[in-house]
Amino acid sequence: MSAARSSEGASRFFDEVEQELLQASVESQRADWVYSTFVSEDTEELSSAALARLIAVTVRRAREAARLSSAELSGPDARKARLLPLSLPLLAPADPGEAQELTRIVASMQARYARGRYTPHGRSEPLDLQGLSRILSESRDPKLLEEVWSGWHRVGREMRPEFERYVALANAGAKELGFADTGVMWRSKYDMPPEELAREADRLWEQVRPLYDALLGFVRRRLQAVYGADTVPASGPLPVHLLGNMWAQSWEALLPLLVTGPAAPPYDLTKLLVERRTTPEEMVRYAERFFVSLGLEPLPATFWSRSMLVRPRDREVVCHASAWDLDYVEDLRIKMCIEITGEDFRTIHHELGHNYYQRAYGRLPFLFRDSAHDGFHEAIGDTIALSVTPAYLRRVGLLGAADREEDDVPFLLERALEKVAFLPFGLLIDKWRWEVFAGRIRPDEYNTSWWALRAKYQNVAPPAPRDPEEFDPGAKFHVPANVPYLRYFLAHILQFQFHRALLRSAGHDGPLHRGSIYGSKDAGARLARTLEMGTSREWPDALEALTGERRMDAGGLLEYFAPLRRWLDEQNRSGAQGG
């Protein structure tokens, strides 16, 4: 057979594969949407069964694609052959019984997480994660904070036996398609050898670690002033329950403790939104108008009729914010239990970033309907959220005051408590899972190794010694939900790289933290060209299209926070000198 005829046959094969995958993916997405917005044993079973069928189709077709010779594959088909076994974060064993068991376990762990509740002392009703998180962010009673933190983390212990079995079955599926384990499979999605990706993540962390350490040192001394040296040590890990977030992955709730008087932020976005009686839908309308201002189309009418924007009163749901494209073309939705807060305002801008990315690559062949790598998907939404600046808020009528240079540090501190504080947490979750999948962390070491990594990277510790039998990783949604997490770490690097490049397109030549691309058609056109590439090209090509650079780099992040870094260093020096 001629090379041309072989190539034609391969192209027909991938046409068939993509049609079959599209049908199975839509079925799985719809079942998962129903489950996530109506948690029950029945919807859990339906979601699990649909996912099992999708995995089975993917694995079967990936095995068939592996039998094609390189001579049969054109450039696009060769890329499809490489992407096919990587298109899902979970590969089940070929055995139907084991495949079904695996998907049921993942659905069961998610259901345990969604049903997680704890009743704090003195309360009459159990609280879900949102209610418990509100206490962590608002209370300054260390005993209550410890109780609430420990109460939520009980949810992990219940799923530990399931997680052990999940690791074994997921690894078996990955090995059947030629990967050493599931962690290697996850790291193979980045157009580079898996071991090179791990080194790249370490390189990026070393770029930003000094900034994190400076922020941590400042926070430590302020917390000592509030809680005393007996509760907050002068060195060593900080108590995790005092940082205002269930996982200490962001510290924005500490802002009122850290800066007061003239150094306080000039505005409270939550207060502004509440004073204007902003509804959940209007929160989303603000974000939609942002994208329209860049020259992109409004969301489809079905978005507004099919999204879940508030927590229903009549049923259990998965409140974790997420963006969906159920038909992989135009059925865009978000699922959120929106609260009228500044945090949710920015989160909505982020989630619509996913939706607009999904729409942009929806015209490509199915296997290319994804982001350049998963960090890009997260970074695009975060890039838009970086443009939620005082200048933007003024333009949309939420803020009246003009920029003042003295407001820069409190604004940047608030951003750093969200963005910089997150960096080590974003890295360590998958570092832990990579070791678990590789067998270098045994089941009896799950919890102790988890806290060793948290001490190493975040420099935090639990409020009291944890029983090795606990399973604290399970108290974070992405672990029971089988969602790879390195994407978020990479996104926190890339978003500043993207922000800097798009601001240049928009003609902004001032400090990065003051710039917003709102209303810039030039920035919108550059953004759209990158989004439309999907994963049809290797990610350095997409990065170059957006930024002119081919390597991920934290230079944009460091430039953005440079004024804050100088201020932190001054504060830390004066604190060390007793000033």
Q: Residues near 566 by Cβ (< 8 Å), separated by ≥ 6?
A: none
Q: Residue 296 has what DSSP assignment?
A: P
Produce one character per residue of 352-367: b if its CB has 16 or more CB atoms within 10 Å, e if not. bbbbbbbbbbbebbbb
Residues 332, 305 contacting (CB under 8 angstroms): no
Angstrom CA distances, 471 to 182, 347, 475, stand at: 20, 28, 8
Integer Cα distance of 46 and 31 in angstroms: 6
Active-site choice (153, 354, 508, 513): 354
Beta bridge partners of 323: 334
Backbone angles phi, psi at 403, to 5 degrees: -60, 140
Identify the H or E element spanning 541: helix 539-547
Closest residue by Cα to residue 197 from 574, 552, 566: 552
Active-site choice (44, 162, 252, 351): 351
Active-site choice (113, 190, 361, 488): 488
Burial class (CB within 10 angstroms; exposed 0-12, middle 13-18, buried 19+) of 509: exposed
- Is position 49 annotated as part of the catalytic site? no
Alpha helices, DSSP H, located in 276-341: 280-293, 301-306
- Is position 378 annotated as part of the catalytic site? yes
Residues 520, 294 contacting (CB under 8 angstroms): yes
Active-site choice (153, 241, 350, 492): 350
Report which residue type is found at 213.
D
Active-site choice (321, 452, 455, 528): 321
Q: Residue 127 has what DSSP assignment?
A: B
Residues in the chain: 579
Active-site choice (72, 162, 252, 378): 378
Answer positive or negative: Cα dihedral of 132, 127, 155, 47: negative
- Is position 354 annotated as part of the catalytic site? yes
Helix axes 521-532, 486-505, angle to 10 degrees: 140
Closest residue by Cα to residue 255 from 270, 241, 265, 245: 265
User: Tokens 């806290």 sit at which residue?
Assistant: 451
Report which residue type is found at 557.
L
Q: Residue 459 has what DSSP assignment?
A: -
Token reading at 507: 């003609």
- Is position 321 annotated as part of the catalytic site? yes
Integer Cα distance of 36 and 543 in angstroms: 33
Active-site choice (176, 320, 452, 538): 320
Integer Cα distance of 511 and 562 in angstroms: 10
Angstrom CA distances, 74 to 6, 66, 79, 371, stand at: 10, 14, 9, 21
Burial class (CB within 10 angstroms; exposed 0-12, middle 13-18, buried 19+) of 439: exposed
- Is position 377 annotated as part of the catalytic site? no
Token reading at 458: 């975040």
Backbone angles phi, psi at 224, to 5 degrees: -60, -40
Token reading at 562: 């440079």
Supply the residues annotated as catalytic.
320-321, 350-351, 354, 378, 478, 488
